[in-house]
Structure 1
Amino acid sequence: MVEPPMAEKDTATMKPVGTTDPVGITVVVPSYNQGRFIDETLRSLLDQDYPNLEILVMDGGSTDDTVERLRAYGDRIQWVSEKDDGQTDAIAKGFARATKPWITWLNSDDVQCDRALWRVAETVAADPAVEVVVGGAHYMDADGSNPRPYPTIDVGPGADVRREVFEKGYMAQPSIFFRRDLYERVGGLDRALNFCMDYDLWARFAASGARFGKVDADISGNRWYETTKTAGQTLDLYAEILATQHRIFGAVSPYFVQAVSDHLYGRFHSKFYGDRGHLFFRWLYFKALWTVINARAPWYCVKGLFCQTIAKSGPIAGDRMTFKDWRDGFKAFLRHGREVRP
């Protein structure tokens, strides 16, 4: 079994005594003008003292102090700074250079934590047939404060991972590691995608029948702030996810239909009309969008119109809207209509 770096070490080899060699891991770090974060990202990898690690920084030709910071690491990392076609292209080019059997990417404003690399190695040692390792994670603010849980689907023993990826899909990208040969077998990253290239890859992993393993620990921190790409272009992100679900699964799950319908409700309804009767109106948005989005899967669409409803506190499992909620919301809608009628 692979042990953490704090275990007793053979002074000649600096390997933990009585252990096998930890699996080789390549971490690609896509970067562009992230000088204020890049050191913390790289230190979160290097400070783990993992002996079989390859770090490839794929910088898109930064104009800030990123390159100067990269030079300071000497031969502890490999890096390239040149113009690319965006984040997905940078990651794909990094994976093409990878020499280790396991790979992942870590965005240049995110971090790994809690011995992430060692925990992955322990999971692989416990189940050598595993092809994808999924760990827990947390969100945090730009300064690293205010940590809050990042929800993760069930990939444990007995879990239907394909269904989990379709119905929910949420996994923290920096906490996911996978075999390079699996990545190549499913066709690699889709460079046409700018936002959900990760979800598209996880969905293809699941659809291919890949074997998933689980790390029961929070092993990455994901910064979330106004200028992050996904925070600033939510509808573009959703558009790619819906197209991905159609392409791989032939339909769109209730979770993602509600994610989009709630977003549209917030932008086009509650912002101008308030939240009175919000459950009823969110339900209407959901049913309308369900019909439009899933029209290409007629039986699934009709079944969902009768059987699917919204989660009251957001697109999460459980907390489903009941008939009483619908009735109370409809009554609030009627009361509001009488109040505003001239």
Structure 2
Amino acid sequence: MTDWLSHLRAPAPAAPVDPGPLPTLSVLIPAYNAADTIGEALESVLTQLPAPLEVVVSDDGSEDDLTGVLAGFGERVRVVRGPNRGLATARNRAAAAARGELLGLLDADDVWLPGRAAALTEAAAARPDLSIVTTDAWVTQDGRPDPASYYGLRHFEVDDQEEYILRENFVFGAGAVRARALAEVGGYDPVARWAEDWDLWLRLIHRGHRAGMVDVPLYEYRRRTGSLSNRKVDLALGVLAVLERARPLLSDERHAAVLARTEREWRVSAARFARQSRDPRRRRLVLAALRTKDQPLGARALSLAYGVVPSRIRRRPR
């Protein structure tokens, strides 16, 4: 039997804490046109020990045979349905229907590895002061495994989570969150179409909640290439929107300075990604995002430097 707690990385508790009972676990799976992948995702959860209290699938307006695939699992899976509104809304629907004290997250094209339910619930029981618990993960790209795990290449912050969450999203997104903490901040922001997990962790951590991580890869995160340049543009724009919405949360000047620096870095990234993209609409969106009230000249310089401005503006007359 694995001692998961020996692998737990987390901030020191602010005050002495007594371990509690294992929380009941609901696993939330948002799904959109995931008929080809959700079967493996569900099996990976339903075979966990201890078994979760329930598995809740949120069908986000799918147009494939997702309903037929889910029917094959019978009463082992609860299903909630709604019109297509995106990942954040789909997760909120599942959370609203869930009965567990701890809400575990799984995307419909990924899988939980053996031991993940035990690791998450044992960490949450041992540290009732942690509102977020996650694990390390293996990452595959179009079926090819990366040589290092997710946290083999990334940092998990334990000392100053309030500052570090403004620098980068150090919490692996498909973790688990206590239901009461999620309700306290109003769930996922439905406006967030990208980086919705960063948005949630940022709001939770800046309300005093803390995150822990079991440093063992217990999740398989399956990435697919798609239109990579366009996805990078969309992600950068999504992150900039998340950071913009974070400003009212900050009263500390040091935190505000960290946020401003992170915004500048993502503006540069957005401009670079837009230059790589062949989509004129995305280029226009990036240009609009760079033209902010507080940095009009800097944004203009960035857009010119990275070739975001439409070519008819950049060309000099002959």
TM-score normalised to structure 2 length: 0.71
Task: Give the equivalent residue in structure 2 for 1:265.
Answer: 272
1:154 aligns to 2:161 (yes or no):
no
1:29 aligns to 2:29 (yes or no):
yes
Q: Which moved more, 1:37-46 or 1:72-81?
A: 72-81
Q: Give the C-alpha shift of residue 145 in structure 1.
A: 4.3
Cα separation, partners in 2 of 1:267 and 1:188, compared to 1, 3 Å: closer
Distance 2:107 2:118 in 1: 19
Cα separation, partners in 2 of 1:259 and 1:117, compared to 1, 3 Å: same
Q: Deviations over 1:40-99 (max 9, x none)?
A: 111111121323431101113433232221111111111134434222221111111111
Aligned-residue RMSD, C-alpha: 3.4
Q: Give the C-alpha shift of residue 212 in structure 1.
A: 2.1
Distance 2:69 2:176 in 1: 26
Q: Deviations over 1:13-37 (max 9, x none)?
A: xxxxxxx963211111111211111
Q: Give the C-alpha shift of residue 183 in structure 1.
A: 0.7
Distance 1:150 1:254 in 2: 25
Task: Give the equivalent residue in structure 1 for 2:312.
Answer: none
Task: Give the equivalent residue in structure 1 for 2:284.
Answer: none
1:225 aligns to 2:232 (yes or no):
no
Distance 2:90 2:189 in 1: 12
Partner of 1:36, secondary structure, is: coil
Q: Give the C-alpha shift of residue 293 in structure 1.
A: 6.0
Distance 1:269 1:57 in 2: 36
Partner of 1:131, secondary structure, is: strand
Q: Which moved more, 1:211-220 or 1:178-187?
A: 211-220
TM-score normalised to structure 1 length: 0.66
Counterpart contact for 1:226–1:232, Cα < 8 Å: no
Kindly provide the amino acid, as one letter, of the partner of residue 268 in structure 2: S
Partner of 1:123, secondary structure, is: helix
Q: Give the C-alpha shift of residue 234 in structure 1.
A: 2.6
Distance 2:49 2:276 in 1: 52
Query: Share of identical aligned residues, percent?
Result: 24
Partner of 2:149, secondary structure, is: strand
Distance 2:277 2:242 in 1: 29
Distance 1:125 1:155 in 2: 21
Kindly provide the amino acid, as one letter, of the partner of residue 26 in structure 2: T
Task: Give the equivalent residue in structure 1 for 2:205.
Answer: 206
Q: Deviations over 1:284-323 (max 9, x none)?
A: xxxxxxx966937xxxx9xxxxxxxxxxxxxxxxxxxxxx
Distance 1:184 1:269 in 2: 40
Task: Give the equivalent residue in structure 2 for 1:244.
Answer: 242
Kindly provide the amino acid, as one letter, of the partner of residue 173 in structure 1: G
Task: Give the equivalent residue in structure 2 for 1:87.
Answer: 87
Cα separation, partners in 2 of 1:138 and 1:232, compared to 1, 3 Å: farther
Q: Deviations over 1:249-268 (max 9, x none)?
A: 45645455434424533553
Corresponding residue to 1:234 among 216, 219, 232:
232
Cα separation, partners in 2 of 1:181 and 1:206, compared to 1, 3 Å: same
In the TM superposition, what are the counterparts of 1:138-217 in structure 2 within 5 Å?
A: 138-143=138-143, 145-146=145-146, 148-151=148-151, 152-156=154-158, 159-174=159-174, 176-217=175-216
Counterpart contact for 2:26–2:100, Cα < 8 Å: yes
Q: Which moved more, 1:143-152 or 1:79-88?
A: 143-152
Distance 2:213 2:81 in 1: 34
Distance 2:150 2:264 in 1: 20
Task: Give the equivalent residue in structure 1 for 2:253.
Answer: none
Cα separation, partners in 2 of 1:124 and 1:241, compared to 1, 3 Å: same
Partner of 2:58, secondary structure, is: strand
Q: Which has more radius of gyration?
A: 1
Counterpart contact for 2:30–2:57, Cα < 8 Å: yes
Cα separation, partners in 2 of 1:268 and 1:90, compared to 1, 3 Å: closer
Kindly provide the amino acid, as one letter, of the partner of residue 233 in structure 1: R
Counterpart contact for 1:154–1:161, Cα < 8 Å: no
Counterpart contact for 1:3–1:118, Cα < 8 Å: no
Q: Relative contact order, CA 8 A, sep 6+: which one is greater?
A: 2
Distance 1:90 1:62 in 2: 11
Cα separation, partners in 2 of 1:190 and 1:78, compared to 1, 3 Å: same
Distance 2:232 2:47 in 1: 34
Task: Give the equivalent residue in structure 2 for 1:97.
Answer: 97
Kindly provide the amino acid, as one letter, of the partner of residue 64 in structure 1: D
Counterpart contact for 2:51–2:117, Cα < 8 Å: no
Distance 2:273 2:229 in 1: 15
In the TM superposition, what are the counterparts of 1:33-44 in structure 2 within 5 Å?
A: 33-44=33-44
Counterpart contact for 2:185–2:203, Cα < 8 Å: yes
* Unmatched 5+ stretches in structure 2: 5-19, 248-255, 279-289, 299-318
